[in-house]
Amino acid sequence: MKVGAAGALLAGRLEGVGKRGMLTVLAMAAAIWGIGGWLRAPASQVWTLIGVLYAAVVLAQLVLPADSAIRAATGGRAEPWLALGIVALAVWGYRRLVGQLRARARPAAAPARPAGAFSEAELNRYARHIALREIGGAGQRRLKAARVLVVGAGGLGSPALLYLAAAGVGTIGVIDGDTVEATNLQRQIAHTDDRIGMPKVASALAAMTAINPFVTIRPYHRRLTPDIATDLIADYDLVLDGTDDFPTRLTVNAACVAADVPLIAGAIAQWEGQVALYDPARGGPCLACVFPEAPARGLAPVCAEAGVAAPLPGVIGSMMAVEAVKHLTGAGQTLRGRLMIHDALYGETRTLRVKARRDCAVCGGRGAASGSGDWTAADPAA
């Protein structure tokens, strides 16, 4: 009886030691997991270390003698560890199977669109452009790839910016150092009453994004000065100038000539406006060929002094946007080498031919070499 009781007591102690040994090994595995997480080690490496620990424990139970201290310290028997391994393997297999089934049930991801391709929403948005024979899909892709800089977010810049965005010009830059004032709202349609005091470029950004979220807008809240003009303009394919002071217009023209970037320039006063495309690198004059000197004081007053009919900037600014679309897509005949003058008071529009000057201080008459000849005066277009 005493021998039997002693054996039972010893077996109980061994079983207790075995349980404590298993708990010790499991605690070591948990420590490896915790340290791996703290060190942000890859999960695969953490599981590899735990697997090595498990394999070492099972191997010790199978190889070492029954009375080995290592076996006793790691559980004393191989069966519990093998059972634990089978359960872990079953759980891993189940999770993997569920993951594969979920992946099959999940809808296939749409293939990535190649660069320049249109989404379904864009195709629907630009459908009326694409339907035009002169633009079509190819022309709309050119618009999406184009980068256009608009100088001035005022009377002319506002409609031009809105229509460029609506037309789908991919990247539109706008530079203006002014803020929105109440007096602007009579004609500058990109701005609203609740944006008074806001930088005009920020107001224009909000307006263009509301019209077309698929275009990229680059706002520059500063004046265009000669020290930055050439580098900035060189990053664009086309420039639209809607400023109302002659020194800035000359700066824009000189930078466009230096960077070989075409320039669409518009101007307005009271009831009259004008638009032209200046592109001496491809034939025709630059702005300085046609207007080599600033007008005498008082002959070309700004809108704040002379006034302007509210819809007129919309008419001329929209014409500038139309010329931009034509130039970028190759549609129709642009105003290169021609100056269009619109008289809103009497409902008349006329076009004058303008030619490069060989003695131009800015472009050197480069456009004259393309067959445009010397310019002496604005001749009525044929």
The lowest-confidence range among 191-205, 283-297, 349-363 is: 283-297
Angle of CA points 278, 280, 285, to nearest 5°:
60
Q: What is the mean predicted confidence (pLDDT) over 184-191?
A: 95
User: Quick one: pLDDT band at residue 317, thresholds 50, 70, 90?
Assistant: very high
pLDDT per residue as tens digits for the range 228-254: 999 999 999 999 999 988 899 999 999
Q: What is the pLDDT of residue 115?
A: 58
In this predicted model, which residue has the larger pLDDT, 381 or 194?
194
User: Quick one: pLDDT band at residue 64, thresholds 50, 70, 90?
Assistant: confident
Length of the chain: 382
Structural domains of the chain, with CATH: 2-102 (no CATH), 132-380 (3.40.50.720)
User: Quick one: pLDDT band at residue 98, thresholds 50, 70, 90?
Assistant: confident
Q: Count the neighbouring beta carbons within 10 Å of the beta carbon of residue 228.
A: 15
The lowest-confidence range among 112-116, 200-204, 239-243, 342-346 is: 112-116
What's the whole-number average pLDDT of the chain? 84
In this predicted model, which residue has the larger pLDDT, 105 or 237?
237
Q: What is the pLDDT of residue 8?
A: 47
How close are the terminal C-alpha atoms of the chain, in Å?
A: 131
Residue 227 predicted with pLDDT over 60: yes
How many whole angstroms separate alpha carbon 354 and alpha carbon 372? 9
Residue 300 predicted with pLDDT over 80: no
The lowest-confidence range among 174-188, 202-216, 291-305 is: 291-305
Q: What is the pLDDT of residue 45?
A: 75
Residue 3 predicted with pLDDT over 50: no
Residue 365's nearest CA partner among 294, 293, 292, 295 is 292
Residue 353's nearest CA partner among 368, 340, 369 is 340
Q: What is the mean predicted confidence (pLDDT) over 241-269?
A: 94
Q: How far is CA 59 from the centre of its chain?
A: 59
pLDDT per residue as tens digits for the range 131-165: 999 999 999 999 999 999 999 999 999 999 999 99
Distance (Å) of CA 65 to CA 59, 68, 72, 139, 311? 12, 5, 10, 84, 101
Residue 368 contacts residue 374 (beta carbons within 8 Å): yes
Q: What is the pLDDT of residue 7?
A: 43
How many whole angstroms separate alpha carbon 238 and alpha carbon 355? 20
Q: What is the mean predicted confidence (pLDDT) over 354-378?
A: 70
How many whole angstroms separate alpha carbon 255 and alpha carbon 228? 9
User: Quick one: pLDDT band at residue 2, thresholds 50, 70, 90?
Assistant: very low
Residue 370 predicted with pLDDT over 70: no
The lowest-confidence range among 8-12, 127-131, 191-195, 327-331 is: 8-12
Q: What is the mean predicted confidence (pLDDT) over 27-44?
A: 75
Residue 329 contacts residue 134 (beta carbons within 8 Å): yes
Q: In terms of C-beta density within 10 A (0-12 exposed, 13-18 middle, 19 or more buried), how is residue 61 classed?
A: buried
Residue 301 predicted with pLDDT over 60: yes
Q: How far is CA 42 from the centre of its chain?
A: 34
Residue 373 predicted with pLDDT over 70: no
Q: What is the pTM of this model?
A: 0.68
H-state helical runs in 107-225? 120-125, 127-130, 136-145, 157-167, 200-211
What DSSP letter does each residue of 191-208 carry, written as one string?
A: --GGGTTSBHHHHHHHHH
Residue 367 predicted with pLDDT over 90: no
The lowest-confidence range among 55-59, 202-206, 293-297, 376-380 is: 376-380
Residue 318 predicted with pLDDT over 60: yes
